[in-house]
A = this chain, B = another copy of it.
Amino acid sequence: MAAAMASLPGFRSAQEIHAELRRQGEAVGLTTVYRHLQVLSEQGVIDTIRDPSGESLYRQCGSTAHHHHLTCRQCGRSVEVEGRVVEQWAEKVAAEAGFTAVDHTVELFGLCPDHSG
């Protein structure tokens, strides 16, 4: 089930994933979907981002290494992008300001080639 859940392409909300599973005949509850998503996320199996409205979106990614996403606002399709530049920049400004335990959130949202019209 975990596999089926994460096999959907692009970033999807928990509720979309739930609806899709139901459509496929899985008699799964919303609670279980949330629970599994949380576990999978903690294990690093799937990635979690937040769209501008604050909703959480999930997706199984190809790389388990640290990376960021460029996601389509329309269809959820996303590209994995890595940003050594960003990491270094984050570390630098944090050090300059004397902050510790710094974590960073970097999300890119736009329109993919199919939805640019």
Is A8 at the interface (CB under 8 A from chain B)? no
Chain B residues in 8 Å Cβ range of A94: 70, 108, 110
Shortest Cβ distance from residue A97 to the other chain B in the assembled complex, whole angstroms: 5
Q: Is the CB of B111 within 8 A of A97?
A: no
24 pairs, CB–CB < 8 Å, chain A vs chain B: A50-B50, A50-B54, A52-B105, A70-B99, A73-B101, A81-B93, A83-B89, A86-B89, A90-B108, A93-B108, A98-B112, A98-B113, A99-B108, A99-B113, A100-B111, A101-B110, A101-B116, A102-B111, A103-B109, A104-B108, A105-B106, A105-B107, A105-B109, A106-B106
CB within 8 Å of B: which residues of A? 50, 52, 54, 70, 72-73, 79, 81, 83, 85-86, 89-90, 93-94, 97-113, 116
